[in-house]
Amino acid sequence: MDTVSVEEVLATRAQERGTAKEDKRPDAKDLSHHLSELSKRRRPSPLKELFQYIHPGILSFAGGISSYEKGY
- Whether the predicted pLDDT of 38 surpasses 90: yes
Q: Would you say 24 and 9 are in contact if contact means Cβ atoms under 8 Å apart? A: no
Confidence (pLDDT) at 34: 94
Average pLDDT, stretch 45-56? 78
Q: What pLDDT score was predicted for residue 23?
A: 65
Answer whether residue 70 shows pLDDT above 60: no
Question: Which of these, 47, 38, 36, 49, lies nearest to 4 by C-alpha position?
Answer: 49
Is residue 21 pLDDT above 60, yes or no?
A: no
Cα 7–chain centre separation: 14
User: What is the predicted pLDDT for the residue at 66?
Assistant: 59
Q: What is the pLDDT of residue 72?
A: 47
